[in-house]
Amino acid sequence: MDRVLLRTTLGVSCLFGLALTDRVACGEEPVVATSPAAPVEFSWASLAREIALHVIPENYRDDRHWDKTEKVASGVKVKTKGGQVRFEQREKKVNHGFWRRFSMSLINPDKTLELDIRNIRKTPDGATRFDLFVAVRARCETQFALWTWGVKGINGTVESDVTVQALLDCSFRVDSEFMPDSLLPVFVVQPHFHDLDLKLTDVDTRKIGLLGGWVAEELGNGTRKAFEDLLQSQERPLLERIRKTVAKKQDRLRLNPADAARLFAR
């Protein structure tokens, strides 16, 4: 087998549990390792799902444009100072402006989650680099209300079902370790996560609440940009979470050929 292909197969299997057999893809009970070089218990498919769900968290929320207010005159306050009468305007805050609030939640991530490994290539420094593609269905909800100096006007809710896609730029090296009383090495993956891109596709706008027809459709299309901005604002924090999560699971990024042979023999 080509050396690059071998390293890629080992690394991807450790990181993202490629479904090479239906048994692994269906999430059977994890293999119990008997070798001292391997973790006590591990499941590559489970590790893949954990990483993917960190790429796309289950809930987003943006309340930045909710609860807008303006000051209005509410009367006159009379003050006296040094024998002089002064009139000061009283003010109070009232709801005003176009309020909007966005939220997003995943739809059955256990069923709609898709994983794919793309663009595998060798880098000049000897590492293997690839893109992890993740997609899942999500529901975007837009709540809105138009206030005019304390008087509530048109308001309602628009929901859209969308596909959230994430492209995670990854690379890794595969090192080998020989353990006592073993003829085969244990392969250890050293991963790095370089960049993350989130976007929305397949937007299906629905009408709810007080609005319908083209109004709901226009609002749904108009808020797509807001949801995309919300996702983009999360790219850097999510990338850091992925790095920290995988760093805590380094002991699971090990592939013992003996355990792998038992897995595929089942």
pLDDT along the chain (266 residues), means of 10: 45 40 34 38 51 66 85 79 77 89 82 84 87 86 86 83 87 78 76 88 69 54 69 82 80 68 52
Amino acid at 225: K
* pLDDT confidence of residue 55: 59
Examine residue 32 and state whether it is found in any structural domain, yes or no.
Answer: yes
Cβ atoms of residues 94 and 111 within 8 Å: no
**CA–CA dist 146, 140 (Å, integer):** 20
Q: What is the pTM of this model?
A: 0.61
Examine residue 88 and state whether it is found in any structural domain, yes or no.
Answer: no
Tokens 């994430």, residue? 166
* pLDDT confidence of residue 95: 92
* pLDDT confidence of residue 19: 30
Tokens 């006007």, residue? 153
Amino acid at 90: R
* pLDDT confidence of residue 14: 44
Residue range of the domain that includes 145:
3-68+97-265
Amino acid at 188: V
Examine residue 86 and state whether it is found in any structural domain, yes or no.
Answer: no
* pLDDT confidence of residue 96: 92
**CA–CA dist 17, 10 (Å, integer):** 10
Examine residue 25 and state whether it is found in any structural domain, yes or no.
Answer: yes
- Output the six-digit token pair for 46: 């489970």
Which domain CATH number covers 46?
3.15.10
Examine residue 54 and state whether it is found in any structural domain, yes or no.
Answer: yes
Number of domains in the chain: 1
Cβ atoms of residues 194 and 240 within 8 Å: no
Examine residue 77 and state whether it is found in any structural domain, yes or no.
Answer: no
Give me the helix-helix angle, 44-55 and 3-16, nearest 10°: 70
DSSP 107: S
Examine residue 15 and state whether it is found in any structural domain, yes or no.
Answer: yes
Q: Where are the beta strands (DSSP E) in 28-150?
A: 31-32, 41-42, 59-65, 69-81, 84-95, 97-106, 114-122, 128-148
Torsions phi, psi of 124, nearest 5?
Answer: -60, -25
